[in-house]
A and B are shown apart, each in its own frame.
Chain A
């Protein structure tokens, strides 16, 4: 009977290879996480910089004044307000529309299902520039004046697919017998939906809405083709970056990061309280 040759062991009795990868992999992961945060760290640091001129690229001295001055810079806050408004409205509309489609896809048999799936799948997989450019041809063809409403139409469009996919994932793992129990207790379809179905799929709807909001507030490419003279925050930042980026941009970036940080903290905290092993939360917070 062949006995395998034992691999060389270290003093803890681990195979040397295992010990090496036992150290290497976590070290590599740690380094990569640091690397991912490098531009964020620079952004935060330079939000406290006190540059003399327009260029905020070398360290001059520590100051809080950028944080105070931000609120007086309407050229920065106005695009931010536009972005928040577009994100809020497009999230509400896309979440409603997308949830209805997800219900139709999981609850009913109908022809043209393949076509509907295609209509949802393709916008998510096409390069963004194609979505933006094709919308521009629509505005050109009908001589539509580009502005807030065209941006909104575009954002609702690209958000619907993400909502459908997120909510459908929640509906697929849904136990239909709960609804049947509601019906057995003489609840009609409408009551059953609001008292049973909706509360159960609500976490999925909420994740979808958060994802839609994150995608919308950060979008540059698709917005660029539908914006005209209206400025959203990403458009404004990109435009001004040719002349040098004022530290107030770093301030707003830092504040957005803080909000995301708090949001993720809360999500982690609430996950701890739930039973382990729900659906994968991270996917629902993936930004672009």
Chain B
């Protein structure tokens, strides 16, 4: 009797949440795959014809958007790492009693809605807004200079929005480092740069990897930044913009679903390559 209830208890605990995830996550993924293999039009209805040809078709038509999205997301990931590392390092090693307070300050702006923050940046960075308008008035910039709707603007927006996703895991990794190891490196005549690179940075690699993934994956699928800070300029669209338009405006479900699956496959491939290069065995130790 007791053994039976033991066997049933975990099942009962898993049931409500597990069923919810199956019905509203796993099953929809399967449906999205089936819908990608349908043919037809919205008006006459879509029918399942197992049309695998949709995949080469959408890749052929939109491969440049995948390249651009990956490029934007990689650039943003690299920038968040370059900007976030010194900040995480400073808070972890110099924060003292203010560590937690400083980390909360990093996170605080992100309590304001993603949409409002991004709209606020659009206002600040507008052609005649408070930054570039003033610089133009001072004659530092040419009157026809513009920043919004450029690739740099989208990369800037992505970098801003995903900074805490980089800083927090970096902080967690750096904070755990035994400072005596760095002192030991110094005692062994390592220069400051050597001690940093070969001890601190190497030991913080798990944080670098976690932060990169937490930044890159949401960034590569993002479409709000390109819509708002990219000002809807098709020249800076990412894959997400096309997926969203095809699903919600064009109602072209099969190619939207296929584009989504290609995105998932691309992300998984890149993540696999990345973790292979960095080496997961080093991460778990």
CB pair B24 A241 closer than 8 Å: no
Contact with B along A41-74 (1 / 0, CB 8 A): 0110010000000000100000000000000000
Q: Does A196 contact B (CB under 8 A)?
A: no
Instruction: Tell me the residues in window 186-203 of chain B with beta carbons closer than 8 Å to chain A beta carbons.
Output: 189, 192
CB pair B113 A253 closer than 8 Å: yes
CB pair B91 A256 closer than 8 Å: no
**Contact partners of A261 in chain B: CB under 8 A:** 108
Contact with B along A146-185 (1 / 0, CB 8 A): 0000000110110011001000000000000000000000
CB pair A286 B168 closer than 8 Å: yes
**Contact partners of A134 in chain B: CB under 8 A:** 25, 28-29, 31-32, 260
Q: Does A81 contact B (CB under 8 A)?
A: no
Q: Does B228 contact A (CB under 8 A)?
A: yes
Instruction: Tell me the residues in window 40-72 of chain B with beta carbons closer than 8 Å to chain A beta carbons.
Output: none
Q: Does B276 contact A (CB under 8 A)?
A: no
CB pair B124 A129 closer than 8 Å: no
Contacting B20 at CB < 8 Å: which of A97, A128, A234? A97
CB pair B260 A287 closer than 8 Å: no
**Contact partners of B114 in chain A: CB under 8 A:** 218, 220, 234, 288
**Closest Cβ–Cβ distance, residue B219 to chain A (whole Å):** 9
**Contact partners of A287 in chain B: CB under 8 A:** 107, 110-111
**Closest Cβ–Cβ distance, residue B68 to chain A (whole Å):** 15
**Contact partners of B233 in chain A: CB under 8 A:** none
Q: Does A208 contact B (CB under 8 A)?
A: no
Q: Does A249 contact B (CB under 8 A)?
A: yes
CB pair A127 B220 closer than 8 Å: yes
Contact A101/B14 with A140-B253, A157-B24, A268-B104 known, Cβ cut-off 8 Å: yes
CB pair B228 A241 closer than 8 Å: yes
Q: How many A-B residue pairs have CB under 8 A?
A: 241
Give Cα distance in the complex from A154 to B21, angstroms: 10
Q: Does A120 contact B (CB under 8 A)?
A: yes
**Closest Cβ–Cβ distance, residue A22 to chain B (whole Å):** 8
Residue among A110, A136, A157 with the highest chain B CB neighbour number at 10 A: A136
Contacting B111 at CB < 8 Å: which of A116, A260, A280, A281? A260
Give Cα distance in the complex from A33 to B153, angstroms: 20
Chain A: number of interface residues, binned into ranges: 35 or more
**Contact partners of B240 in chain A: CB under 8 A:** 127, 129
CB pair B109 A127 closer than 8 Å: no
**Closest Cβ–Cβ distance, residue B169 to chain A (whole Å):** 9
Residue of B nearest to A104 (CB): B13
Residue among A36, A241, A249, A264 with the highest chain B CB neighbour number at 10 A: A36
* Supplied contacts A97-B16, A125-B213, 4 more A-B pairs, CB within 8 Å: A133-B260, A241-B228, A282-B100, A282-B106
Residues of B within 8 A of A (CB): 6-7, 9-11, 13-14, 16-18, 20-22, 24-29, 31-32, 34-35, 83, 86-87, 89-91, 94, 100-121, 123-124, 126, 129-130, 160, 163-165, 168, 171-172, 189, 192, 213, 217-218, 220-224, 228, 240, 243-244, 247-248, 253, 256-257, 260, 263-264, 267
Residues of A within 8 A of B (CB): 4, 15, 17-18, 25-26, 28-29, 32-33, 36-40, 42-43, 46, 57, 94, 96-98, 100-101, 103-104, 107-110, 116, 119-120, 122-123, 125-131, 133-138, 140-141, 153-154, 156-157, 160-161, 164, 214, 218, 220-221, 224-225, 233-234, 237-238, 241, 245, 249-250, 253, 256-257, 260-261, 264, 267-268, 271, 280-283, 285-288
